[in-house]
Amino acid sequence: MGLQAVARGPRATACIILGRMGTFRQRAVLAATGPGPPQPTSDMADRIARVQIVGAWLRRRQRALAVAALGVAIVVLAAGERSSLDHRALLVSAVSALCVVFGILAGPWVGLSVAVVAGAVSVAFVLPFDDAASVAASLAAIGFWALASMAAGFISDYYRRQVASRQREVDERQRLGRALNAIGTAIASGLDRESLLPRIVRLAGLTLAADSAAVLEHDGERWRVDYGWRLDGDLLGRTLAVDPEGFAAAIEAGRAPVGACAAGEHGVRSGELDELGALAALVAPLVREDRVVGALAVLMRTRHRAWTGGELAFVQKVSTDLSAALQNVGLYEAQLRIATTLQEQMIHALPRIDGLELAAVMQSAAQPELVGGDFYDVVELSDGALSLLIGDVEGKGVRAAGLTERVRTMVRALWLDSSDPAEVLTKAGRLLIQEDEEQHVSVLLGRLGLTDGRLELAVAGHPPPVHCGVSTCRLMTLRHGPPLGAFDWRYELVTVTLGPGETLVLCTDGVIEARREGELFGEARLVETIGRHRGAPVARIAAAVRDAAQKHAGALEDDLQVLVVRRAATTTGEAETAGEKTAGKDTATVQRTVR
């Protein structure tokens, strides 16, 4: 939770907003598309699919099927020639059913062919033509065969087309729904224009099988091409004149997507299409504060086309989500500027103290989202001692950053009438409780005597420091208390001595809790890293701790800070002489890394 992670303000807020947007989008999809027809069970769906496969196979083989049907009809009717009249009537009924079945399966014209040939065969061999009544009855039977087969075929084709149309609608809904989910994921995973626009515009263009797509900015008088996918490079950044009778007026009036067509066949004529090199487009407004500030344009450069209702609803949802996302980006960038300014104010230079070496490094997480709550403070006290403070505010954000400054200022003020770090932390904790502060603060506070090296320490829920002597390094054992603001607690004091040449390393939990696949960097690695560099300059020790934690984690999930203090091995007089010889070289170093 680094001090320098101020570039993180609005991302968490935006993620909450976008999460709610995702819920709204799902409801909108349901409202727009309706619950749909009851879905068949899997067994029924399998049977329907098998029937459709058989029907398609038969329709692809209409000629062979017609020959086979005629053969069956001839055999049946030939058999009827040698049968009794009752049997002949039964066979005529069978031929009727055969005509209907083949009309249903193979289409009306195959059914009609079967009926005509069967009628001709029946006239020759089966049906009686003894008198006018028998002739009329025979012709009526043949006519019935023809009408029944044609009617069955046409009805079957109609319902087949209805099923295919419904299936296309279902497929389109599923395809557009998957695209909306992908776009929602893209919106939730990025809050900068450079990552947001390419992913959303590309997904919208691919989903609608477009040749290209663009985001246009609108200032009321002209368009400007802000971003393009598969768009000619010379169009990016170009300003376009607004056609008063084109799609600009249409989306301004309706606040809904409109189709545009250069020929006027599938939408409004719009002069902007010529400048964009497109024959057709689907354009949806980008609205901010009830004003049209731009448009998402899906472009067809090689052909005209009409847009379905599902596609209109899809691009409307995309433009609505994109409008909200771009508004969040603006909020993010504004808070980023505030956070950057705040960050600079929060960085305090280390003092130059004779006989001491001081260094601090700060490293933000790999993907900073908000202002971090890590902080440190080193200040000379009125009695000549040195106050060493390092801490971490629970949570992140501008509020957390503000609390770090309050705690820092509070500690400095409490030193005026307090004698040791435990008393300062006890009073600070009570003040935070009185203020009803919801966020807690982990703190390590020390008081270092510059003449004798006496080091007094008190801890409020913070990782202990590492003490390095001439030959060894160890993690100090302290009397821990809860974080400030959690309870009314009387903190305890631990006193040690920081001898000449010895080093004290303080760090926030971002170091110890740096993890890779669940494995923490941990205290043991911290002590080992410091031990390998204990003889190095303090700035190198601080950088080594930071680099080791970052290497272990690969990508830091939390910010970290490291503060290193070393007493010089020389006496005060020798230190002053050394200072004169190395005039202009700082022994107090602050390193800051912000990503």
Query: pLDDT, tens digit, for every residue of 338-368?
Result: 666 665 666 778 899 989 999 999 887 655 5
- For 249, other C-beta atoms within 10 Å of its C-beta total 15
479-513 pLDDT, tens digit each = 889 999 889 999 999 999 999 999 999 999 889 98
Q: What is the pLDDT of residues 94-121, one digit of tens each?
A: 666 766 776 766 677 777 777 776 666 6
Average pLDDT, the chain: 77
Instruction: Using pLDDT thresholds of 50, 70 and 90, give the confidence band for residue 220.
Output: confident
What is the 8-class DSSP label of residue 335?
Answer: H
Task: Name the residue among 269, 268, 278, 275 with its Cα closest to residue 303.
Answer: 278
Evaluate if residue 576 carries a pLDDT over 70: no
Is pLDDT at 123 greater than 70 in this prediction? Answer: no
Tell me the residue ranges of DSSP E strands in 180-322: 212-218, 222-229, 239-241, 258-261, 280-288, 291-300
pLDDT over 80 (residue 300): yes
Read off the DSSP letter of residue 554: S
Per residue in 138-187, pLDDT (tens digit) is: 677 777 777 877 787 788 778 878 877 787 778 778 888 888 888 888 77
Percent of the chain with pLDDT over 90: 25
Question: Residues 223, 286: contact at Cβ < 8 Å?
Answer: no
Rounded Cα–Cα distance for residues 302 and 236 (Å): 20
Q: Residue 295: beta bridge partners? A: 216, 285
- Retrieve residue 91's tokens: 């066979």
Residue 73 clears pLDDT 70, i.e. is over it:
no
Note if the pTM is more than 0.85: no
Cα separation, 360 vs 351, in Å, equals: 12
H/E element, 435: none
Q: What is the DSSP letter of 590?
A: E
Alpha-carbon span 310 to 10, nearest angstrom:
34
- The pLDDT of residue 195: 76
